[in-house]
Structure 1
Amino acid sequence: MLLEQTDKPFSDGRYIFEPKIDGHRLILSRRGGVTKLYTRHGNDVTAKYPELITAGPDIILDGELAVMDPDTGVPDFELTMSRFHGRKLPIVYVVFDILLYEGVDLRSLPLMERKAVLDRAVSDNGTISKTVYADGRGEDLWDAIVARNMEGIVAKRKDSVYATGKRSDNWLKVVNYTYADVFIGGWRKEKFGWLAYVPATNGRLRPAGAIELGVPPTHKQAFYGVAKSLITGEDRDYVYLEPRIKASVKFRNWTKSGNLRSPVFVDFILNGQISA
């Protein structure tokens, strides 16, 4: 089951609110004593996480696999990807739903009934943990998440069934974005992407990744109309510009290498102001 996105946190007694864990989605399926682990896209990653292979009844769990930052105790996406690619780091599988238990398909049950089964079926340990949630108080949870600089929250209707593979506003995510102003210093020739630059400590500009998301067609058209007069050169993959076009972006966080993680275009900045 996939999530729609909404811009602002809210409180509503029809919903529960969970922390959004900054890792990667993982389905755990154990049938006939054989455990398999799958990513959201159906890739078999069983061999990557042997600590999740345990004995027990037939069960299918949905959750998020993460590695925690040892200093802050919050999920760290870069460490999670390091573990995914083979680095030996301790994991936590944060379980938020149960789809099958002891041969019974639970997907048509309301969320809170599935949660009750999950409480009986799964015991927290050092590797597997059931997610916590706030009943109706989304804004309170949001404030706590922002204070810890975590990824965001997920709002879920208490009466929602589990609709496999579909996006639904029964599950809504609110992302704790960071905002920054960047200069656009070029673009990719193949897959769309504007090259983002930010000020470095020496006062010059340094590259900080590529803006791929959120750019409306009208803004693309306006950009290329202006950018043609700013071209300074090109190579096989990129066209380079004088970095005179400025934009506001929102993004998940700064990576350890100083790049914007998953930047989303907000708008151009004209004379210090966001354009209309």
Structure 2
Amino acid sequence: MQPMLATPGALPDGPEWVFEVKWDGMRLLADVADGRVRLASRTERDVTASFPELAELTRLAPDVLLDGEVVLLEGGVPSFPALLERLHGPALPRTVQARPVTYMVFDVLRLYGVPLLDRPFEERRATLERLDLAAVPALSLSPTYSDGRALFEATLERGMEGVVAKRRDGVYRPGRRGPGWTKVTHRQTQVCVVGGWRPERAGPGRIGSLLLGVPDAAGLRFAGRVGSGLAGETTQRVLRDRLVEAEQPPFAERLPRPDGAGAHWCEPQTVVEVAHTGWTEGGRLRQPVFRGVRDDLDPDHVRQEA
């Protein structure tokens, strides 16, 4: 099952809505059955081995399906780049102990074999709150608020991602966006497919910038290049491990010479996330900054965000 998605839009108002923090983490469905837990990403990829501290979710109930977001807190604020590092290698015990994740749970979709997808959100939330969530140290209930505007301003002050508004009477529609959930963010992000890279001038073999693309009906459309955020040694190593050389550029159009000159082409199979300030009229990302490799996403699921 794929999780339900929020639709970008303006912050709604009215008693029919409740509001939550939009956590800067990774969306996970946690499926507990037969004494085991399976953690699945947005694209249904099994990421259980990356988060061993969530194995204790089996304490909640013998059969339960949860929806939430796993975050790694730094100074009380989620750090998305730090979280992605957990996906790039085995979760060593010392790493888990030093930097544990928290699963911010906000929905329950099945309990004791009974599907809850068609129940109103308010009823699902009440069911979730009746579970013994304190039994799992790595689990935290995502709070809800009635004042969306105040929450939006508070998340801005704390440097957090934004707010999700949910209708109290809304049902759960797996893998779909709908009017029942609305997201309002303080910054824009975009997942892209890497189609090539250009080397640093001062560092032989080091990646200086990535050539990014977003698939559409015509193929892989060039979306610009990103250089900011690539300097770290961990980032360089992770990218070198994943970028597979290709003889020809994978983009649907010929790249402008300032972008394509000296480029090394690669197979369009690595997904990365960037922050940006918008799109140009020519379909290029404005001021993109690299945030991390998204091993939890497949190229087929990349689309331009509104």
Instruction: Give the TM-score range, shorter chain.
Output: 0.5 to 0.7
1:148 to 1:33, Cα distance in 2 relative to 1, 3 A: same
Could you say which residue in structure 1 is the equivalent of 2:81?
78
8 A Cα contact 1:19 1:153, kept in partner: yes
Could you say which residue in structure 1 is the equivalent of 2:275?
262
8 A Cα contact 2:187 2:277, kept in partner: no
How far off is 1:75 after superposition? 0.6
> For residue 15 of structure 1, what is the amino acid of its counterpart?
W
Could you say which residue in structure 2 is the equivalent of 1:202?
none
Structure 2 residue runs without a partner (length 5+): 190-208, 214-219, 229-253, 266-272, 282-306
SS of the aligned residue for 2:81 comes to: helix
Write the distance in 1 (CA, Å) between the matches of 2:167 and 2:259.
52
For the pair shown, the structure with the greater C-alpha radius of gyration is 1
The counterpart of 2:64, out of the listed 59, 70, 94, is: 59
SS of the aligned residue for 2:118 comes to: coil
How far off is 1:13 after superposition? 1.2
* 1:113 equivalenced with 2:123 (yes/no): yes
1:188 to 1:130, Cα distance in 2 relative to 1, 3 A: closer
8 A Cα contact 1:12 1:138, kept in partner: no
TM-score norm. by structure 2 comes to: 0.62
Could you say which residue in structure 2 is the equivalent of 1:27?
29
Write the distance in 1 (CA, Å) between the matches of 2:118 and 2:105.
18
Could you say which residue in structure 2 is the equivalent of 1:133?
144
How far off is 1:236 after superposition? 3.6
How far off is 1:197 after superposition? 7.4
How far off is 1:68 after superposition? 0.4
8 A Cα contact 2:188 2:276, kept in partner: no
RMSD, matched Cα? 3.1
1:188 to 1:13, Cα distance in 2 relative to 1, 3 A: closer
**Mapping for residues 1-276 of structure 1, pairs under 5 Å:** 1-6=4-9, 8-54=10-56, 55-56=58-59, 57=61, 58-69=63-74, 72-86=75-89, 88=95, 89-124=99-134, 125-135=136-146, 137-177=147-187, 192-195=222-225, 231=258, 234-237=261-264, 261-263=274-276, 265-267=278-280
Deviations 1:60-100 (A, max 9, x none): 0000011001xx31111001101222362210000000001
Residue-pair matches, total: 212
Structure 1 residue runs without a partner (length 5+): 180-184, 199-223, 239-259, 269-276
Write the distance in 1 (CA, Å) between the matches of 2:8 and 2:210.
30
In percent, how many aligned pairs have the same letter?
32
Write the distance in 2 (CA, Å) between the matches of 1:85 and 1:236.
25
8 A Cα contact 2:32 2:38, kept in partner: yes
How far off is 1:3 after superposition? 1.1
- Which protein is richer in strand relative to its size? 1
